[in-house]
Structure 1
Amino acid sequence: MRSVSELRLRVSAAGELTPTVRRFVLRDPAGSRLPAYEPGAHVVVSTPAGHRRAYSLVEPGGAQPREYVLCVRRDTDGRGGSVSMHDDVAVGTTLVVSAPANRFPLAPSPRYLFIAGGIGITPIRAMVRRLRAAGRAGVRLLYLTRSAAETPFLEEFAGPEDTVHHSGGRGRLDLWPYLGVPDDDVRIYCCGPPALVRAVRTLTAHWRLSRIHLEEFAAGHRQLSSPFTAVWAPDGRRVGVPAHLSLLAALRGEGVRVGSSCEAGVCGTCRVAVLDGEVEHADSVLTESERVASMVACVSRARSTELVVGPYQDEELA
């Protein structure tokens, strides 16, 4: 049965932004206003092929938006979610969509430096548009892509505080001139592929941690850490989870049935209850209160040597 926090929205417009990026506008079929969101928020979409994928909302949002707008890059080497969005979704398609959640919120600051890599522009665009619409100065953007043809919203970012860099013809942009001198008046927001996020994390090691905000759009590429033992509460089964294997994979290897979809920590399908032990959370979907007694098995692990887990029962399901 579907959670009451999910919405059934109709695609009112769809179109190509680049050869690989498609834009979708989602509205309530009855014309009702949608749940509020702020820049940095995402929704989880159930694709026609049955995948659950998280997509950032690319518009600034507000208290009563009429529509949710998201952009999806086709990834033929992925697990099928983006391909389904491109091939199976058209104007008139009805999609099941979660209410917005925000794990990448825009915090107040005198000045900002935004760094976007490829489709990582989606949450960054919402933030930049919100700030500039309010007349804010000191909003600088570094937008890194492979080529002009593969740059969504290219025409929007041609101002004096925008640097759009195409690595295909010029190599990678040297980020050190932008990050070498720490400044407590600047907040840095970076969203992009794991390599870019790792580079920004390394180059800002001398900054105050509170000034750096990072989001990978491929959360499944994290390095797994220490081994631990999982105890499956319903039958007491003890499952060894080695350093190279996720809890989800280890449980399945021992015959424990746990559903999954994205396997990147963004949809929450593989959520399990935590009954005892300490968790190292690495997902991008659970709230802090939800993390008290549950975890996402595809990316999160145990801090303790033993973790007792069991099936998760959604209290919102009737």
Structure 2
Amino acid sequence: MSSSPELRLRVSEASDLTPTVRRFVLRDAKGSALPAYEPGAHIVVTTPAGHKRSYSLVEPGGAQPQEYVVCVRRDNDGRGGSVSMHDDVVVGVDLLVSVPVNRFPLKPSPRYLFIAGGIGITPVRAMVRRLRVAGRTGVQLLYLTQSAEETPFLQEFDGPEDTVHHSDDRGLLDLWPYLAVPDDDVRVYCCGPAPLMRAVQRLTPHWRMSRIHMEEFTAGPAGMSLPFTAVWAATGRRVKVPAHLSLLAALRRDGIRVESSCEAGICGTCRLAVLGGEVEHRDSVLTEGERLSSVMACVSRARSAELVVGPHGNGGSV
């Protein structure tokens, strides 16, 4: 499990923003201020059904926030986390919530280009609001959704620097005019589904890497996967991990039980100890220090031909 501390927070508001997106406001039951956070941060929520899911905080935050606000898009074809949030969470319910973690921080820049796809607007909204409340100009937003009906916060983004594009009406937006000319005075922030992330990556190889910032709904782009062998330290069992299977799936296939929840590299449940070999980390939960001795089995892989792993706490057993 992740070593991050957890808070017990009460749902004080729950409302539908679109037919599939619901907004939840979480507060301390006694009215105490919550741990600080900055735009781009997320929390991991344990749903009533027991899933652990990462949700970006949609408000700008600060030193002593009174509430955490998240928006959850219902996915009936998913693994149950969003359905539990929609069906089981009502006002008055208490939820276990991690303290905020920020792996998508807003960095200083003369100007910004934000590209948000669908529910990817959630961290972007926090960043844009922080900058505009401070009176900043040069804050451009491209907000890409399927339809007006499925566009959370639609009425907020009608300014001269905002482009809200609905693919049902006009097809896919051509991003090249916005990215053709690299500019070291601009930071590009992109959050959304994998096809949008890949499109932005393909269109920005001529930009400085330090100016492009990405956050996907999973831990990040998977890249090329190569086969390797995992060695389960407790028994010496050797497990072949082919390119198309995760370390988690391969271990389970061979009868080694490893707990999991999100299976997207964001909750920390499937954390294993690394006792040998080199890891290609693809998660968004481990700190740099933790990456020296741990691996998230659901998404990360081996850079070496073999990777020796074992339980982390109660993270696995034979």
Question: Is the TM-score greater than 0.5?
Answer: yes
Identify the residue that residue 191 of structure 2 maps to in structure 1.
191
Flag the 1:18–1:291 CA change in 2: closer, same or farther, 3 A: same
Identify the residue that residue 249 of structure 1 maps to in structure 2.
249
Q: Take 1:60 and 1:132, find their aligned partners in 2: how far apart are those partners?
A: 11
Task: Mark the runs of 5 or more structure 2 residues left unpaired by the alignment.
Answer: none
Alignment check: 8 A CA contact 1:279 1:300 kept: yes
Q: Take 1:201 and 1:63, find their aligned partners in 2: how far apart are those partners?
A: 34
Q: Take 2:230 and 2:2, find their aligned partners in 1: how far apart are those partners?
A: 29
Q: Take 1:6 and 1:226, find their aligned partners in 2: how far apart are those partners?
A: 36
Q: Take 2:228 and 2:217, find their aligned partners in 1: how far apart are those partners?
A: 27
Deviations 1:8-56 (A, max 9, x none): 0000000000000000000011111111111110000000011100000
2:308 equivalent to 1:308: yes
2:160 equivalent to 1:164: no
Identify the residue that residue 35 of structure 1 maps to in structure 2.
35
Flag the 1:184–1:220 CA change in 2: closer, same or farther, 3 A: closer
Deviation at 1:224, TM superposition (A): 5.2
Deviations 1:62-121 (A, max 9, x none): 111110000000000100000000000000010000111111111111110000000000
How many residues are aligned here? 314
| SS of equivalent residue, structure 2 residue 140 | strand
2:27 equivalent to 1:10: no
Alignment check: 8 A CA contact 1:277 1:302 kept: yes
Q: Take 2:153 and 2:93, find their aligned partners in 1: how far apart are those partners?
A: 24
Identify the residue that residue 281 of structure 2 maps to in structure 1.
281
- State the TM-score, normalized to the length of structure 1: 0.96
2:78 equivalent to 1:71: no
Task: Report the residue type matching 1:107 in the other structure.
Answer: K
- State the TM-score, normalized to the length of structure 2: 0.96
Deviation at 1:2, TM superposition (A): 10
Deviations 1:138-190 (A, max 9, x none): 10000000111100000110000000000001000000000000000000000
Matches within 5 A, 1:176-255: 176-219=176-219, 222=222, 225-255=225-255
Q: Take 1:40 and 1:4, find their aligned partners in 2: how far apart are those partners?
A: 18
Deviation at 1:222, TM superposition (A): 3.1
Identify the residue that residue 151 of structure 1 maps to in structure 2.
151
Flag the 1:105–1:4 CA change in 2: closer, same or farther, 3 A: closer
Flag the 1:294–1:124 CA change in 2: closer, same or farther, 3 A: same
Flag the 1:220–1:263 CA change in 2: closer, same or farther, 3 A: farther
After the TM superposition, which parts of structure 1 deviate over 4 Å for at least 4 consecutive aligned residues? 1-4
Task: Report the residue type matching 1:84 in the other structure.
Answer: S
Alignment check: 8 A CA contact 2:2 2:267 kept: no
Q: Take 1:2 and 1:260, find their aligned partners in 2: how far apart are those partners?
A: 11
Q: Take 1:240 and 1:294, find their aligned partners in 2: how far apart are those partners?
A: 19
Identify the residue that residue 53 of structure 1 maps to in structure 2.
53
Q: Take 2:28 and 2:271, find their aligned partners in 1: how far apart are those partners?
A: 28
Deviation at 1:219, TM superposition (A): 4.2
Q: Take 2:205 and 2:257, find their aligned partners in 1: how far apart are those partners?
A: 41
* CA RMSD in angstroms, aligned pairs only: 1.5
Deviation at 1:287, TM superposition (A): 1.5
Q: Take 1:117 and 1:258, find their aligned partners in 2: how far apart are those partners?
A: 33
Alignment check: 8 A CA contact 2:54 2:266 kept: yes
Task: Report the residue type matching 2:300 in the other structure.
Answer: S
Q: Take 1:70 and 1:252, find their aligned partners in 2: how far apart are those partners?
A: 33
Q: Percent same amino acid at aligned positions?
A: 78
| SS of equivalent residue, structure 2 residue 257 | coil
Deviation at 1:237, TM superposition (A): 1.1
Deviations 1:237-281 (A, max 9, x none): 111111111000011111111000111111111111111111111
**Bigger Cα displacement from structure 2, 112-121 vs 209-218:** 209-218
Alignment check: 8 A CA contact 2:4 2:98 kept: no
Q: Take 1:296 and 1:2, find their aligned partners in 2: how far apart are those partners?
A: 10
Deviation at 1:223, TM superposition (A): 5.0
Task: Report the residue type matching 1:172 in the other structure.
Answer: L
Deviation at 1:3, TM superposition (A): 6.4
Q: Take 2:66 and 2:52, find their aligned partners in 1: how far apart are those partners?
A: 23
Task: Report the residue type matching 2:163 in the other structure.
Answer: T
